[in-house]
Amino acid sequence: MSRIEKKFRELKAKGEKALILYLTAGDPDLETTEKLILTLDRAGVDILEIGVPFSDPTADGPVIQEAAQRSLRKGTTLTAILKMIARVRKVTSIPIVLFTYYNPIFVYGNERFAGQAKKAGVDGVLVVDLPPEEADELRTFTDPQGIDFITLTAPTTDDRRLEKIVRTSSGFIYYISVTGVTGTKEPEAEAAARDLRRIRKATDLPVAVGFGISTAAQVRKFAALADGVVIGSAFVKWISLHCQEQDFLKQAAAYARELKEATVL
């Protein structure tokens, strides 16, 4: 059983939902990212999505675009991110999902990536621009390594397509709660609830909701509907505002704990 699967089972037994935080690796620098991962783990975050910065992030809003640019200016690479994950993996068992666009992986080499990601302790990959139609070229290598392949569904995904997507997913389903890029619109609970019912009908996999959720109140609202809630842009923005402060890690732990409480129903 993968770490991700195990985590969702444990949470279910406790009557909790998963708090999933996204952060862009290397923003403000990889050393801080490393410390943040350990801090967030201790603060009770359930799953981490580690963003690999890409020069042309077409599915992201301004906040994550800028974080990616800052990270790239620091010279962050996929190689360095995998090394950093290998280090934290020695001291934490928090499930880690690499959240990325396809080109950095493709250029790194799909087979090499699968091997190195497994070795580093990556549990799942979410490749934003790799829909099921194109995913085989990577999954040929990541599936045999037991790396979960997390797929996206959107409000625009119809039932027929949904069937096809969930059939090929593992780990969990990531439901994009808004028709838009990350962190720009607030999702509507009613529409999300309708879509989540459709997804539940199609699969037994856990479903996480993200793209536009930013506050503890929203986490509470969507945690009631799904198995997990993803906070991305809001957290990335929070990091950029506070990362220079003395007690940054302490504040980050408090930030995470407040959100985590909202997932305990």
Partner 1 sequence: MKINMPDNKGHFGIFGGRYVAETLMPALIELEEAYRRAARDRSFQKEFRSYLKDYAGRETPLYFAANLTEKFGGARIYLKREDLNHTGAHKINNTLGQALLARRMGKKRVIAETGAGQHGVATATVAALFGMECEVFMGAEDIRRQEPNVFRMKMLGADVTPVTSGTATLKDAMNEAMRQWVARVRDTFYVIGTTAGPHPYPQMVRDFQSVIGREARRQILKKEGRLPDFLVACVGGGSNAMGLFYPFRNDPETAMVGVEAGGKGIATGLHAASISAGQVGVLHGNKTYLLQDKHGQVKDAHSISAGLDYPGVGPEHSFFHAQGRAQYVSVTDDEALAAFMLLTTSEGIMPAMESAHAIAYAAKLAPTLSRDKIIVICLSGRGDKDMGIVAEKMEVKLP
Q: Does 209 bind partner 1 (CB under 8 A)?
A: no
Which window, 35-43, 128-136, 214-222, 241-249, contacts partner 1 (CB under 8 A)?
Answer: 128-136
Residues 265 and 256: their CA atoms lie apart, in Å, by: 16
- Tell whether residue 57 is a contact of partner 1 (CB under 8 A): yes
One residue of 32, 33, 39, 65 binding partner 1 per CB under 8 A: 65
- How many residues belong to the site for partner 1 (CB under 8 A)? 45
Q: Which two tokens stand for residue 99?
A: 């959240």
Which whole-number Å values give the CA distances from 206 to 36, 87, 190, in the listed order?
Answer: 26, 28, 19
**Which of 105, 147, 196, 259: binder of partner 1 (CB under 8 A)?**
105
Residue 65 CB, nearest distance to partner 1 (Å)?
A: 6
Question: Is 29 a catalytic site residue?
Answer: no
Contact 120, 96 (CB under 8 A): no
> Distance (Å, rounded) from C-alpha 201 to C-alpha 195?
10
Torsions phi, psi for 153 (to 5 deg): -125, 150
Of 173, 98, 109, the closest CA to residue 138 belongs to 109
Question: Residue 19 in 3-state DSSP?
Answer: strand
The 70-89 site mask, x for binding partner 1 (CB under 8 A), equals --x----xxx----------
Q: What angle do CA 230, 235, 241 make, to 5 degrees?
A: 175
- Closest contact distance (angstroms) between CB of 9 and partner 1 is 26
- 140 counts as binding partner 1 under rule CB under 8 A: no
Q: For this structure, is 186 an active site residue?
A: no
Q: Yes or no: say if 43 and 253 are a contact pair by the CB < 8 Å rule.
A: yes
Which of 20, 47, 150, 181 lies at the binding interface for partner 1 (CB under 8 A)? Answer: 181
Q: How many residues appear in the chain? A: 265
Cα–Cα distance for residue pair 104/87, rounded to 1 Å = 21
Q: How far is the CB of 152 from partner 1 (least distance, A)?
A: 4
Considering the rule CB under 8 A, would residue 125 count as an interface residue with partner 1? no
Smallest gap, in angstroms, from Cβ of residue 173 to partner 1? 11
Positions touching partner 1 (CB under 8 A) are: 54-62, 65, 69, 72, 77-79, 101-108, 128-131, 133-134, 151-158, 161, 165, 176, 179-181, 184-185
Q: Show which residues are catalytic.
A: 49, 60
